[in-house]
Structure 1
């Protein structure tokens, strides 16, 4: 099977490449043709996942297909964008039809869940890596940015944090999965392999939230991006940070909290919003939790129950540290 037969069999004919409301032309020509609805901007984001860096080298192909698309689509959620299409550039060490079939199935499952269509890409030979570019439509004047946080806003997250980071020692066999109860294992593995982009919440927050992003490198590090872009200080109440129950059960309370604060890979949203917007927001999205507030100043402050600053001995993931 050559490169073009591979593309046709595993990607062009896959479920994720069929249709798309704003896709005029998908896979098969030199470019895809997309339509952005009137009054919208085109939101574009690219993510690369590399074997041994972003996922274990023996990663199950179906789960990897899900994760590859989910982490990229989460950026559209963070901007309040509606998904349109995505491209996939995949580098493969060898042609393995069984692996490709499973990867394509996982990719299609996540694409259908997110309402996004595969519209093109590339295949090459080399160490296993995937680059996904997602495209969406974001209404003008309502796009969620990092730069709009206002003093007096409350700081919220869309759900419990730390589960994906807590799964890493299990994936690396530092903690034996066979010795861990299934009730703990499953939510951790689900969080790592099948993160759910918060698309509905992001679209709800359009015109309501003042700043937002998705949590990929850790809560403290990512909130630092909002603080810097908005020229404010974000104060986080440590006791209010929602920690994954399974993470705490596996690692203990202290280590579970560390995963929630700095572990990353959560792909929940962190956002600032006026307190008056909270009641209707939490009625529709009950997992949303207030974890702090926006104040004058700069940076991120982690506070204990007495309101004293907690020394931060850890921050988010950085590739070149």
Structure 2
């Protein structure tokens, strides 16, 4: 993402100089070089993650560009949080259809810069290209975790508690609301409830504050991007054990509870829909009280929703106490 200091040269150089150089962090070297320079904190391991968001897949083409920027950054910060890491910086690659106006880019850059500052994740560089297709944004986030503190997806063992942060299903229901605002399930929602669901889809909340508690107490963790049930099944399979998820214990917001009440299809959407970006963790039973207390001190609510077990697969208990079949359990791109 480097370019001439005066902003001259190609259209890409002008775009970088005008919109992205002002939001770049110190390690970006003013976006005047082909690479950034970063010194990881002493005694820490680097944690790296990359996620892409695509118009028409992860966000609507008419979403506010500042919101698109925030979502692109936050889905990556959520991965760092789940590993117990703190952000160090991010690299941005953005593919823009020809004719994208300066107003869109300016708003995108402003939103990205504000969110990078908010979460302590400076923009270090990247690339800007044109595309005949939809807007595509890829961010590589870099984080640091004290040596030995990385929280893997593979550490769960039978007999551990399964916990989730925040509330589940808001984003998936927000997407359904966006697609069908007059659909019957949303008829009982007031304006506040509608706004809550729509915002949770548009603006994920990365649980960076939970990272220290995860490092101290969790055996395994991952963020929920593709759906609670499916992502939990992935973590259990990676760890070589099974588990039980009790839908009666899954925390729901007031809006989600209104939509899912008595509606099996909406409950399934909440448990299997993506974009929650909450943190799933498997915690030894003896450490559960300390983990919950540490999370509370960090301002992040967590709830026990099940238990790991010997064997394979995920059993789901429904609202009536009977087994609940959720099918695939999560969103899949392929």
Same fold (TM over 0.5): yes
Equivalent runs, 1:270-289 vs 2, <5 Å: 270-286=280-296, 287-289=301-303
1:291 aligns with 2:296: no
Deviation, structure 1 residue 26: 5.8
Change in Cα spacing, 1:96 to 1:24, as seen in structure 2 (3 Å) is closer
1:230 aligns with 2:235: no
Q: Do the aligned residues in 2 keep the contact of 1:243 with 1:256 (CA within 8 Å)?
A: no
1:119 aligns with 2:124: yes
Q: Pick the aligned partner of 1:109 from 96, 111, 114.
A: 114
Deviation, structure 1 residue 313: 3.0
Deviation, structure 1 residue 38: 2.5
Secondary structure of 1:313's counterpart equals: coil
Alpha-carbon distance between aligned partners in 1 of 2:37 and 2:235, rounded to the nearest angstrom: 34
Alpha-carbon distance between aligned partners in 2 of 1:312 and 1:186, rounded to the nearest angstrom: 27
Deviation, structure 1 residue 184: 0.9
Secondary structure of 1:312's counterpart equals: coil
Deviating above 6 A after TM superposition, structure 1's stretches of 4 or more consecutive aligned residues are: none
Alpha-carbon distance between aligned partners in 2 of 1:319 and 1:145, rounded to the nearest angstrom: 23
Alpha-carbon distance between aligned partners in 1 of 2:136 and 2:182, rounded to the nearest angstrom: 27
Q: Structure 1 length normalisation: TM-score?
A: 0.91
Deviation, structure 1 residue 256: 4.0
More moved, 90-99 vs 247-256: 247-256
Alpha-carbon distance between aligned partners in 2 of 1:229 and 1:139, rounded to the nearest angstrom: 23
Give the aligned partner of residue 64 of structure 1.
Answer: 68
Q: Do the aligned residues in 2 keep the contact of 1:154 with 1:275 (CA within 8 Å)?
A: yes
Alpha-carbon distance between aligned partners in 1 of 2:320 and 2:261, rounded to the nearest angstrom: 23
Give the aligned partner of residue 175 of structure 1.
Answer: 181
Give the aligned partner of residue 274 of structure 2.
Answer: 264
Q: Do the aligned residues in 1 keep the contact of 2:172 with 2:274 (CA within 8 Å)?
A: yes
Alpha-carbon distance between aligned partners in 1 of 2:38 and 2:170, rounded to the nearest angstrom: 36
Give the aligned partner of residue 258 of structure 2.
Answer: 249
Give the aligned partner of residue 6 of structure 2.
Answer: none
Q: Structure 2 length normalisation: TM-score?
A: 0.88
Alpha-carbon distance between aligned partners in 2 of 1:158 and 1:137, rounded to the nearest angstrom: 22
More moved, 200-209 vs 123-132: 200-209
1:82 aligns with 2:82: no
How many residues were matched structurally?
314
Deviation, structure 1 residue 80: 0.6
Deviations 1:222-242 (A, max 9, x none): 111211111011211121111
Give the aligned partner of residue 148 of structure 2.
Answer: 141
Deviation, structure 1 residue 176: 4.3
Structure 1 runs not aligned, ≥5 long: none
Structure 2 runs not aligned, ≥5 long: 1-9
Alpha-carbon distance between aligned partners in 1 of 2:319 and 2:197, rounded to the nearest angstrom: 28
